[in-house]
Amino acid sequence: MTRRFALLMTFVLTFGTGMAAYASEGGEPLIRQSWSFNGPTGTYDRAALQRGYKIYREVCSACHSMKLVYYRNLEALGYNEEQIKNIAKDYTYMDGPNDEGEMFERPGLPSDPFKSPYENDKQAAAANNAVPPDLSLIAKARPGGPDYIFSLLTGFEEHPPEGHTLLPGQHWNHYMPGHVLAMAPPLSDGQVTYEDGTPQTLEQYARDVAQFLMWAADPYMEERKRTGIKVILFLLVFAGVMYTLKKKIWADAH
């Protein structure tokens, strides 16, 4: 009885505390979304990932870096080699030294990481009143992951609730812990053009970029799930074989 109670308390403390943090952590309960990658057989929606990358490239990359993602990784989103080369060469990188010992500028290559908008954190802080977080792992670093990203992007209010005052450069958000952040609302209806006919709404933008950031934080999720299913099937077959073998060995035992 004591052991069962201890196990129950461990479960409550481990999972109950985690869910409480997911629900509030200083902000309102997150807006739960249904994602294609949820569940043991879930997969990423490639069209949504490409739209999400388009939003990052046209909007988010003005302030946020993704230092752990390389242009060559875009192959997983469905881009071919030529498209990736064309994307990378739109950016300029400092390289060198050359044979004369000097640094030089060159077009980006598929082997380069995503171009960061600022040279260093001090420059980023001076331009934004705070250092914008790198988005490479943001979907894993925040409780709620993609639900947190969707909620944050759709949770801005033009004016704070009565009794609250914002300083210059501050903005009110329902889902931000503490509700106050330096980032202005980055997305609005019709801001980014979709060529595939997908609705160009704030909610759709938020869903697409949340999915892209989830992929960036966990690019091997699909492979891991496939491997897990294979392992489970193997273990089930192995258990059946061993049970049959056990029955045969002990069939004549009394």
Domain ranges for the chain, please list them. 61-126, 137-241
Q: What is the mean pLDDT of the chain?
A: 89
Q: How far apart are CA 39 and CA 173, in angstroms?
A: 29
d(Cα 53, Cα 135) in Å, to the nearest integer?
A: 12
For the structural domain made of 61-126, what CATH number should be given?
1.10.760.10
The pTM of the whole model exceeds 0.85: no
Neighbours of 213 (CB within 10 A): 29
For residue 27, the model assigns a pLDDT of 67
At the topology level, CATH places domain 137-241 in Cytochrome Bc1 Complex; Chain D, domain 2 (1.10.760)
Parts of the chain with a pLDDT under 50: 1-24
**Which tokens go with 236?**
């089930």
Same fold, 61-126 and 137-241: yes
Phi first, then psi, for residue 204 (nearest 5°) are -70, -40
Q: What angle do CA 17, 18, 24 make, to 5 degrees?
A: 90
CA dihedral sign of residues 51, 53, 57, 62? positive
Residue 109 phi, psi (nearest 5) = -120, 160
Per-residue pLDDT, 254: 61
Q: Which two tokens stand for residue 41?
A: 């057989």
Q: 192 φ, ψ to 5°? A: -115, 135
CA separation for the pair 221, 49 (Å, rounded): 14
* Helix (H) or strand (E) run with residue 103 in it: none
* C-alpha of 17 from chain center: 22
CB 167 within 8 A of CB 158: no
The number of C-alpha atoms within 13 Å of 1 and in the hemisphere containing its C-beta is 0
What is the full DSSP assignment across 111-159? TSBPPPSSSSHHHHHHHHSS-PPP-TTHHHHSTTTHHHHHHHHH-EESS
